[in-house]
Chains A and B, each alone.
Chain A
């Protein structure tokens, strides 16, 4: 029974998502990559909120065929009962057709683990801005090669419109081919030479990471190089992003 209902629920949620996006026309920012999506997303949300923008985002694990629409529609996942799902879908229908409030910007994690995942997500919602974190071997899905994962991300780059923006980790060799696959403006961030937004003098003290961008001191009270990359991605986006 569950196997029959699941595709129906997915299709209906996809339809509701398209309707609500068509009605409200939010600016959609996608964060994709193998790891560091959530930290990057959080850093970006903080920047956008500092600008006074009304932002909605998907929780960490809401990046699948069902989770992504639920996040866009601002719905909680139902438990396994058919009744609970019917209530959720009814609530989603109301939001999609008659709901008035909707945020100006959606910041969404796009997670991929298998070939074809990205096209499925793009069938639900298409971003105008994409931030690429990395294509590290995560062993998260040992049946998919790193090249296949990199190809999946390229699909997203190709979907970004000409008036869009791509923010990419310039230190990741697997993301080097993105530039040739998009007509959108592209900016890079990283620690290595050549990045548009580049961190230098990265150090750690007892309270977190420190670095400089263009001679200006930056800090984050957390630990790990990925925190630096997340902050750099947010700074790059903040520097070049203009909402539609």
Chain B
């Protein structure tokens, strides 16, 4: 991988992170070093054939509950943590123009 492939500004946009320019520069340097260190992983051909791995907790069978509606016992405690709250709901910036 060439260094220029790591577009920190794009990654920060994807991750919803507003970064200052000095932070972006520092992170780019860090990532280049880290990715270089991990490069051998990408080149590795050992292991099971590609495509056979579930993307989450591969060694654990998820034990899912029945999909039934449940009421959280303490709605007030959850809303008490809201940065903004109105009429028993989370208040957020306008989404629809």
Query: Is B truly associated with A?
Result: no
CB within 8 Å of B: which residues of A?
none
CB within 8 Å of A: which residues of B?
none
